[in-house]
Amino acid sequence: MSSNLDIQTKGLSKNFGSVIALQNLDLEVQSGSVFGLLGPNGAGKTTAVRILSGLLKQTSGNATVCGFDINTQRKEIKAATGLLPETPGLYSKLSAVEFLEFIGALNDMSGELLHRRIDSLMDLMGLEDRQNDLLESYSSGMKQKVLVASTVLHEPKLVFLDEATSRLDPSASALVKEIIMAMAKEMDTTFFICTHMTDFAEDVCEVIGILNEGILNTLGSPRNIIEQVEAEDLEDAYLKIVGGQVDRSKLLSWRD
Amino acid sequence: MEGLNLTRKWFAIAKTEFFVQTSKLRRVRKVASLLLLVFGIIWALFIVPNIMESVLSDLEGTGIDVLLMVSFPSLMRSVMLFLWILLLIYPISYALQEIRIGQWEIMLSNNVSTWDMMFGMFMGKIPIYGLFVLYATPVILTPFTIFFRVSIFGQIIMYFTVFFVALSTLFLSNLITTGIQAKLGESSRGNDIAKALSMVVALALLLPMYGLMFFSDSMSAILGFDIFILFPFTWAADIISWSVIIFNEIGVSATLFIDILKITALGDLVLILCFTIAIIIIAYISADRIFSFGAGPRTEKITTIGEENRFLKGIKRVYTGPPGVLMVNSIKEFTRKMQNVSRLIYGVIIAILLPVIMNYAMGSVPEGAPPEAQPFIVMLVIIMIGMMLAMISGVTFGGIGFLESKDQLWIIKSTPNGVWKFAKARIFGSFILIIPMAIIPSIVAAIIFGFTILDALMIIVYTYWSTCGAVLLCAGVTANNPAYEDQKSSAFILNTMVSLFTLLGILIISLMIGFEVMAINANLLLFMLILSTPMIVIGAIVYVIGIVRMSRPDTK
């Protein structure tokens, strides 16, 4: 497998009983690039991320992540990657600093370096005034910011972001965008972003894959995809590919 | 009086409440309800009377029949007290496991009156608790109806009284629960406090009841009347007793019981009716106030943490680097949850009460007691304290306190060897927190029974060792079948049952082996080692298996 690829999958599939969540995913993600996986709810995006981050076993197929095999080198994959899960699994009874200390310790970090990083990240996220408050009192956007900080804390080579900005307000979303682009450009960090927010994907991602019902049916740059389906923008292209065009005649029929 | 129109809104709320309570049977809800009802009627009319008939005929001439004849009003009061406490505590405890202010907001925004809400919630609980009463009442009443040959009319009054008291108690518990929930809902920590209260509520009600039972004689002497006649369960019990006296066919006369039944049947009936009407009026008047929770859950209380205390800093000094950070944060996270702390306090209080009650019940060891008496009491107290702490600590540290959510597990699993690091920190953190739990009741027992320092030390070591084993075992069970903090989930119920039965099984087998060894070699230290070590060994094995399974990538 090529050394400048951080993700390479071959026929990756996952079934949950009779439900096919992911079907024959063939994908290559360049090192240092920002890749976006778009798709409706239940398309298989989270399943793909969980398999690639070593949390879920695939039913068939194979993949390498940062050069490590997903079947035999899960520990190495976890050390090289960071994951921001779809739903925040924060400890409600820890403060932001304590939670980041906890995540740092799980990644074998401690001491001065860890605390310096935590302080800098809290400052960057605009949470320095609330950093010692228990997380239970944080808004969902603030929690998301803490999770973003926890994901990049150990400077992973590859970052999986599962719906990273869905709970963020526009300014916080813009901040996350900037962090992603800065890390990709300056630190050569690879980003694998799952989202259904087309405007975010269009702004940030160099390559986009559209997943629907477990099948990757479109792959290319945002411009390329828009041109392929003769759409106005990525949202229009997405709707044309995935479906979901609104039938206006039915909009108010529920009153009948 | 819009609420008293009893529009269909209360019915919709009652139906939803019933659906929530029976969600596990949703596919067979109608059939199961019907079957349970039909079987309940068969149970009440045929099965229980037949069983009781044969049991009572066996008891004839044993002296128990005479006891039943003489003491049935007191017996009836005890039975009704038990039923009353059960119907009061359980619904409160169950409902407090989840604050439902969010659902109330939906109802209020749909223009539902507060009385409809309260009445609907009460009505929704009736089917489940009604079934409980349907199954329990025949067991309680049939021995009396058969023994005293109570006429059908008398039996109808007796059954009606139990159902009426059950309903009024349920209404009272519904009122209390709603009031507490509304109050707690104003805080962002409401859910946490409610879960803590759900544990404490049993203790808060049981302790005064125990006190009442122990000190009723002296209180009655001071007051100049029987203290029990102040309680609604007594009025209900006495109505039943009067029914037996008035409608029996074996010639039992009221004059025999005039010392106990101080109020007439009519007087009891008036009292219980007044009590019920008073609760309903209070509920009706206070409904608006209870449900006006103002800013509601949005009234956030922000808790800012201070500097780490010396104890936590000490742990970090002993365990340097990432393991120390993990252990300290694990301790912080566990101890900041009120439900965890309340459970542990509950366990310690019970463990402290045990030697007190035993001492009260048995009297202190007399001066001239044989030398074997002392070690026997030591053993008994040790075993009971150890078992109590082991079970409560096991379920707390290993059950609800182990992992908060599946999402948390994803985060831990996404780090290299994260589950093992977490498991180590969690278990060693628990072992540290158990230390004061083992010490406090052991010292109390040592003081009460006048044990030597060496005996006290041995008790501490044994209690600590067996509690550690129980925590390992219960945490292992949870790691094998993660239930997180959902105390209503089937996984949680299954884990709790498996944990408790396994703990008891191991303790009983260890105890039997211990006694066998004691018969050969009366060495207390050896006895305690035999009692506690199997738990540690089995617990450690189950825990390791659980962590291995937990750290594996998911397949579904």
State the Cα–Cα distance between residues B36 and B42, nearest whole angstrom. Answer: 10
Whether the CA torsion B46, B47, B49, B55 is positive or negative: it is positive
Judged by a CB distance cut-off of 8 A, whether residue B372 touches chain A is: no
Residue that the structure tokens 């030697």 belong to: B355
Cross-chain Cβ contact B413/A55 below 8 Å:
yes
State the Cα–Cα distance between residues B101 and B106, nearest whole angstrom. Answer: 9
pLDDT in tens, B512-536: 888 888 778 777 778 888 888 899 9
Measured between alpha carbons, how far is residue B192 from residues A134, B196, B199, B222, B519 in Å?
Answer: 13, 6, 11, 42, 49
Q: According to the model, what pLDDT value does residue A140 have?
A: 81
Question: Which pair of tokens denotes residue B342?
Answer: 């309340």
> What secondary structure letter does DSSP report for B23?
G
Half-sphere exposure of B170 (CA within 13 A, CB side): 20
Percent share of chain B, pLDDT over 90: 21
Cross-chain Cβ contact B332/A101 below 8 Å:
no
Percent share of chain B, pLDDT over 70: 82
Q: According to the model, what pLDDT value does residue B82 have?
A: 77
The answer for A236, left when phi > 0, alpha when psi is -120 to 50, beta otherwise, is alpha
Residue B449 scores a pLDDT above 70: yes
In terms of DSSP H, where are the helices of B60-151? 64-95, 101-109, 114-147
Q: According to the model, what pLDDT value does residue B97 have?
A: 66
Q: What angle do CA A167, A171, A175 make, to 5 degrees?
A: 90
State the Cα–Cα distance between residues B465 and B68, nearest whole angstrom. Answer: 46
Judged by a CB distance cut-off of 8 A, whether residue A156 touches chain B is: no
Which residues of A fall within a CB distance of 8 Å from B300?
Answer: 137
Q: According to the model, what pLDDT value does residue B364 have?
A: 47
pLDDT average, residue stretch B299-323: 84
Residue A232 CB: number of other CB atoms within 10 A? 8
Local confidence band at B537 (pLDDT 50, 70, 90 cut-offs): very high
Local confidence band at A165 (pLDDT 50, 70, 90 cut-offs): confident
pLDDT average, residue stretch A54-72: 93
pLDDT in tens, A182-234: 888 888 899 999 988 888 899 899 999 999 999 998 999 999 999 998 888 89
Residue B240 scores a pLDDT above 80: yes
Residue A203 CB: number of other CB atoms within 10 A? 16
Local confidence band at B378 (pLDDT 50, 70, 90 cut-offs): low
Cβ atoms of A106 and A156 closer than 8 Å: no
Percent share of chain A, pLDDT over 90: 53
pLDDT in tens, B379-406: 777 787 888 888 888 888 887 778 888 8
State the Cα–Cα distance between residues A142 and B451, nearest whole angstrom. Answer: 56
Measured between alpha carbons, how far is residue A54 from residues A59, B59, B407, B422, B423 in Å?
Answer: 13, 68, 15, 18, 19
Poorest-pLDDT segment among A3-17, A58-72, B211-225, B498-512? B211-225
Residue B131 scores a pLDDT above 80: yes
Which residues of B fall within a CB distance of 8 Å from A87?
Answer: 407
Nearest-CB residue to B337 (from A56, A93, A133): A93
Nearest-CB residue to B404 (from A92, A106, A150): A92
Nearest-CB residue to A53 (from B337, B414, B417): B414
Question: Which pair of tokens denotes residue A88?
Answer: 């925040």
- Pairing outcome for strands A158-162 and A190-195: parallel
Q: According to the model, what pLDDT value does residue B370 have?
A: 61
How many angstroms away from the CA of B178 is the closest CA of chain A? 24
Given strand A60-65, what is the order of strands in its sheet?
Answer: A19-30, A5-16, A60-65, A68-69
Nearest-CB residue to B336 (from A81, A93, A103): A93
Which residue in A76, A87, A93 has the most chain B C-beta atoms within 10 A of its own C-beta, making it the best mutation to test that interface? Answer: A93
- Mean pLDDT estimate for chain A: 89
Q: Which chain A residue has its CA at the smallest distance from B406's CA?
A: A89
> What secondary structure letter does DSSP report for B262?
-
Residue A69 scores a pLDDT above 80: yes
Of all helices (H) and strands (E), which one includes residue B18?
helix B8-21
pLDDT in tens, B185-202: 666 666 667 666 666 666
How many angstroms away from the CA of B329 is the closest CA of chain A? 7
pLDDT in tens, B95-122: 776 666 777 777 877 778 888 888 998 9
Cross-chain Cβ contact B410/A150 below 8 Å:
no
Calculate the CA B158 to chain-centre distance. 28
* Three-state secondary structure of B208-220: HHHHHHHHHHHHH
- Mean pLDDT estimate for chain B: 81
Beta bridge partners of A220: A208
What ipTM does the predicted assembly reach? 0.80
DSSP conformation letters of B283-330: HHHHHHHHH--TTGGG---PPBP-PPPHHHHHHHHHS-SHHHHHHHHH
Terminal Cα distance for chain B, rounded: 55
Cβ atoms of A74 and A90 closer than 8 Å: no
Cross-chain Cβ contact B410/A56 below 8 Å:
no
Range of A25-34, B231-240, B281-290 with top mean pLDDT:
A25-34
Judged by a CB distance cut-off of 8 A, whether residue A181 touches chain B is: no
* Three-state secondary structure of chain A: CCCCEEEEEEEEEEEECCEEEEEEEEEEEECCCEEEEECCCCCCHHHHHHHHCCCECCCEEEEEECCEECCCCHHHHHHHEEEECCCCCCCCCCEHHHHHHHHHHHCCCCHHHHHHHHHHHHHHCCCHHHCCEEHHHCCHHHHHHHHHHHHHCCCCCEEEEECCCCCCCHHHHHHHHHHHHHHHHHCCCEEEEEECCHHHHHHHCCEEEEEECCEEEEEECHHHHHHHCCCCCHHHHHHHHHCCCCCHHHCCHHHC
Residue A244 scores a pLDDT above 80: no
**CA-based diameter of chain B, in Å?**
82
Beta bridge partners of A207: A35
pLDDT in tens, B242-257: 988 888 887 777 777 7
3-state secondary structure of B443: helix
Q: According to the model, what pLDDT value does residue B224 have?
A: 62
Q: According to the model, what pLDDT value does residue A13 have?
A: 95
Residues 124 to 143 of A: which have CB under 8 A from any B CB? 132-134, 136-137
Which residues of A fall within a CB distance of 8 Å from B554?
Answer: 50, 55-57
Which residues of B fall within a CB distance of 8 Å from A92?
Answer: 404
Q: Higher pLDDT residue, B504 or B374?
A: B504
Local confidence band at B2 (pLDDT 50, 70, 90 cut-offs): very low
Residue B27 scores a pLDDT above 70: yes
Residue B451 scores a pLDDT above 90: no
Local confidence band at B205 (pLDDT 50, 70, 90 cut-offs): low
State the Cα–Cα distance between residues B134 and B160, nearest whole angstrom. Answer: 11
Q: Which chain B residue has its CA at the smallest distance from A113's CA?
A: B321
Poorest-pLDDT segment among B18-27, B66-75, B410-419? B66-75
pLDDT average, residue stretch B68-76: 76
Residue A159 scores a pLDDT above 90: yes
Q: According to the model, what pLDDT value does residue A1 have?
A: 46
State the Cα–Cα distance between residues B68 and B55, nearest whole angstrom. Answer: 13
Cβ atoms of B438 and B460 closer than 8 Å: yes
Q: Report the candidate in B282, B4, B13 with the shortest Cα–Cα distance to residue B122.
A: B13
Judged by a CB distance cut-off of 8 A, whether residue B523 touches chain A is: no
Measured between alpha carbons, how far is residue B308 from residues A123, B314, B436 in Å?
Answer: 22, 10, 19
Question: Which pair of tokens denotes residue A180?
Answer: 């992603």
State the Cα–Cα distance between residues A129 and A43, nearest whole angstrom. Answer: 39
